[in-house]
Amino acid sequence: MLAVAVPAASAADSWSEQTFDFGNQNAGSTSAPHTFGLTATCDAGGLGNLCIVPPGFTHTYGTISTTGAGFAIVPDTDVCAARGGTLITPVLGSADVCTLDVVFKPTSGGVKNGTLSTTTSPSGSPLTVALKGTGILTGNGTGTTKKKCKKKKRFASSAKKCKKKK
């Protein structure tokens, strides 16, 4: 009898990206949202397009959350939560995806690090995205600039010009 080793096929889950940098963001202001996708795929394990994980096999995932100061999921965009924690294994190279948006709102200056994460079943493995952003402090110690007008002890925001006293 001839024994043949066949690579195992498996269901795989992943985030759309492993890291994301929100860049510079004024302290106290919210960044534009960034969309992340949680995807269930069928890994044929070297068998070409043959997926031997049964179609319709259900993947489940735990609570999706963020850690780190200033990072948050936008509740109204969380399609993953609306789906009740379930993805269905697709067949032959397609994928099942749920999405959610994350924002960055630093409260202080400096580099901030965090994560977007969940665990999945059947693997039980944690799936994590490394998040990064930099809080920017401006002249008055917040995310807005306050400048002192020359020769007058008046202040104006950076969006306004100093006014002369009449």
Q: Could you list the residue range(s) of the whole structural domain that residue 101 is in? A: 10-141
Query: Whole-angstrom Cα distance, residue 121 to residue 133?
Result: 30
Give the pLDDT confidence of 145-163 residue by residue, as tens digits. Answer: 444 555 544 444 444 455 5
φ, ψ at 88 (rounded to 5°): -105, 130
CA 159 to chain centre: 32
Residue 42 lies in a domain: yes
- Burial of 56 from C-beta contacts in 10 A (0-12 / 13-18 / 19+): exposed
What is the CATH classification number for the domain harbouring 66?
2.60.40.10
pLDDT range class, residue 103, cuts 50, 70, 90:
very high
Give the whole-angstrom CA distance, residue 153 versus residue 52.
Answer: 75
| Residue 159 belongs to some domain of the structure | no
Digit-coded pLDDT (tens) for 119-146:
776 566 788 999 999 999 986 555 554 4
Tell me, yes or no, whether 165 lies in a domain: no
Number of domains forming the structure of the chain:
1
**What is this structure's pTM?**
0.69
Residue 150 in domain: no
